[in-house]
Amino acid sequence: MTVDRAIYRDGMRTAEELEPGILGEDHETGVAWAWVALDRPTEQEVTTVADQFGLDWAAVERTLQLHQRPRLERDGTTFFCVLRTARYVDESETVEFGEVHVFLGSGFVVTVRHGVTPDMATVRQALDARPDRLRRGPVAVLRAVLDQIMDDYAPVVDGVENDIDEIEDEVFNGSAGAPRRVYRLSRAVIALHRATKPLPRMIDRLIDESMFDQDERQYLRDVQDRSLRLVEQADAFRQLLQNILSVNLTLETKSLAEMSNALTEMSNDQNEVVKKISAWAAILFAPTSIGTIYGMNFRTMPELTWELGYPFAVALMVLVGIGLYVVFRKQNWL
C-alpha cells in the first residue's frame, strides 16, 4: 500500500497533492522534490508510481521480487538501490530479514519496504524535523534510510553475540541441546553475512556518484566504515560458532572415550569374577565327580572290597583339587 506521498520545497513539507506535472520547473532545478513511500505494494501501485516518475521497467519488476542481495543500479539519472534489513527475534533466537528498495532521481525518491523494518514513519518524522538536511534533496532520504538500517543492525549483533555467550556456557556445561542451538544460530549468521557483505562495495559506488556533495560523501564513508565492521563481526561470529562446534565435538568425543574406558574396565572386572567362579567350580567339580562315582554302590565296582579304597578316593579328590588350584593360580585366574 502507499504509506505517504509528499512534496518538499526548500526543506519543508508542503500541503500540495502529488499530481503529474505539479512540480513543474522546480522538479528540474531541485527546489522541489517528491517522496513516495510504499509498504509491501501491489503490482498496480508500483506501476502507477513508475508511470508517474518514468522509472525503468526492469527495476520496477525487480522491486516486486524478494530475497535480493544489496546492490546499486543506474539507469540514466535514476538510481535503483536494494538494501537488506534485519530484526532480531529474541523469543525464537532468529533473525528476520526484509528489504528496502529505493528509486532515486532528480526531484524524486520512492521507497519500497518489504518487511517490518525499518520504521519509515520514524525516518520521515526525523527528517521533517531537519529542514537543513531536506534541502539537500532526495539524497537526504537515502542517507536517512541507510542510517536507520545500520542502527537496526546493532540489536541484531547484540542478540547474536549474547546467544553465542550462552551457547559457550552450555557447551562447557555439557548441555545436550547446545549443538542444535549452534546449527540454528549458524544459519542466522550466514544469512546476516550474505545481507551485509555487499554493502561496503555498494556504498563505495555511491560515493563516486556526482549527485553527492562533499559532506554527503564524508557521511557515506562513515556508513561504509560501519558496514565494514558489521561484515567483520558476521565473519567473526561464523568463525566463533565453528570453533564452538569443534570444541563441542571434542568434548563429546572425550566423553564417549571415557565412557568406553569405563565399560571396558567393567567388562574386565566381570571377566575376572567369571574366571574365579569358573576356577572354583572346576576345583569343586573334580572331587564331586569322584565322590559321585564311588557312591554308586555297584557290587561289581572295583576297589569296593579294597581296604585302601576309601583313603585312595579321598586322596585322589585332594590331589586333583590341589592340582587344579595350582594350574589356575599360574594362569592368574585365582
State the cell numbers at 253.
Answer: 568425543
Whole-number pLDDT of residue 2: 66
Give CA–CA dist 101/120, Å, rounded: 12
Radius of gyration (C-alpha) of the chain in whole angstroms: 42
Give CA–CA dist 328/275, Å, rounded: 9
pTM of structure: 0.70
Show the domains of the chain with their CATH numbers.
Answer: 2-253 (3.30.460.20), 269-330 (1.20.58.340)
> Helices 139-172 & 214-294, crossing angle to 10 degrees?
20
Cα separation of the two ends of the chain: 90
Give CA–CA dist 78/106, Å, rounded: 7
Whole-number pLDDT of residue 251: 63
Whole-number pLDDT of residue 31: 62
> Helices 178-196 & 214-294, crossing angle to 10 degrees?
160
Whole-number pLDDT of residue 293: 66
Backbone angles phi, psi at 7, to 5 degrees: -115, 135
Whole-number pLDDT of residue 49: 86
Give me the residue label for grid cell 559457550: 168
Measured at the CA of 15, the angle between CA 13 and CA 16, to 5 degrees, comes to: 105
State the cell numbers at 326.
Answer: 595350582
Strand ranges of the sheet holding 108-114, from the earlier edge strand across to the other edge = 12-13, 2-9, 32-39, 108-114, 94-105, 78-89, 71-75
Strands (E), the chain: 2-9, 12-13, 32-39, 71-75, 78-89, 94-105, 108-114
For the chain (334 residues), the mean pLDDT of every run of 10, in chain order, is 80 75 46 86 86 80 81 85 90 86 89 86 88 88 91 92 86 75 86 90 85 82 91 90 79 66 72 75 73 64 67 77 78 72
Quickly list DSSP for 126-189.
HHHT-HHHHTT-THHHHHHHHHHHHHHHHHHHHHHHHHHHHHHHHHHTT-TTHHHHHHHHHHHH
Whole-number pLDDT of residue 101: 92
Whole-number pLDDT of residue 153: 92
Whole-number pLDDT of residue 84: 92
